[in-house]
Structure 1
């Protein structure tokens, strides 16, 4: 689960068209580097169609998994945690590693729902959580957070 990196607040610009800031661009690249260092590469990416999520995914995947299929799903934009969970549950059983790129509060709430939320460090822009589960996607209800990463925790 990845929250888009830091986005600009530009007066008059539609929310869906907000670009990443310079810091956001750098943080998104670091997400990809960190996931690569962890040995993780998505088989499929589910991404909100907003500009900031598309750019976050593009930068994170550039070296990590440039050929990973990306499904831009309008249902991710402004989705609640339960809606995101239903989307994840529809993932093809052949997908072993899924990357969902979305927005708060839905992504953060889903991470909390899946992991029990113990010791919640928050979920700022550019944060990601790696959640491990032994059940098929369609049965996903809980998992174990094996990595919680934020741009600030990385220094």
Structure 2
């Protein structure tokens, strides 16, 4: 693929987690989370984006979210479970994304807040439009996702280079 073709990143926050007596990393999805993850998967399928790669945090709730969501997609992308996504700052997430091979056009990252919302805001800068208005109004709730596009190589991904083209969150 040419680096001149636009790339898409979907930043997907894990679904609603339960609070049992386990470490934060091991928290499973709540019942509502399981339902929302499958609904988010259907909505991801509706976008028609053919994902080449999924980067997923190793936390239990992100792995469960992805397992339920990916089941709804027509094509299952290669999935990499990445420890660095857990509790990552936007800068740390950019560093991980900068390592993406240039033959990857469409990538989904399944992670946590405040990292995914911060990354969305940093990559899109003062972006405006309907998707930004929905994000601002709703906040980056659990099981929500943002679709960003940018031109160039993954190594060139930096603050302000992307455009927010879509945002979806489950009804609460």
Q: Is the 8 A contact 1:42 1:65 kept in 2?
A: no
Aligned partner of 1:114 in structure 2 is 123
Match of 2:152 among 128, 132, 135: 135
Aligned partner of 2:3 in structure 1 is none
- Structure 2 residue ranges without an equivalent (≥5): 1-10
Describe the superposition over 1:48-72 as per-residue Cα deviations: whole angstroms up to 9, x where unpaired: 0011000111111113155311111
Residues in 2 aligned to 1:96 and 1:133: alpha-carbon distance in whole angstroms:
10
Q: Is the 8 A contact 1:44 1:98 kept in 2?
A: yes
Residues in 1 aligned to 2:73 and 2:147: alpha-carbon distance in whole angstroms:
15
Q: Is the 8 A contact 2:50 2:75 kept in 1?
A: no
Q: Is the 8 A contact 2:15 2:29 kept in 1?
A: yes
Tell me the CA shift for residue 26 of structure 1. Answer: 1.0
Moved over 6 A (4+): none
Over 3 Å counting, the alpha-carbon distance change for 1:57 and 1:65 in structure 2 is farther
Residues in 2 aligned to 1:52 and 1:41: alpha-carbon distance in whole angstroms:
24
Aligned partner of 1:148 in structure 2 is 167
Aligned partner of 2:16 in structure 1 is 6
SS at match of 1:64: coil
Tell me the CA shift for residue 42 of structure 1. Answer: 1.3
Relative to the length of structure 1, the TM-score reads: 0.92
With CA pairs under 8 Å and 6+ residues apart, which has the higher RCO, 1 or 2?
Answer: 2
Which protein is richer in strand relative to its size? 2
Task: Tell me the C-alpha RMSD between the 2 structures.
Answer: 1.4
Residue correspondence of structure 1 range 41-120 to structure 2 within 5 A: 41-65=50-74, 67-116=76-125, 118=128, 119=133, 120=136
Describe the superposition over 1:87-123 as per-residue Cα deviations: whole angstroms up to 9, x where unpaired: 0111010011000000111111000101125542310
Over 3 Å counting, the alpha-carbon distance change for 1:7 and 1:66 in structure 2 is farther
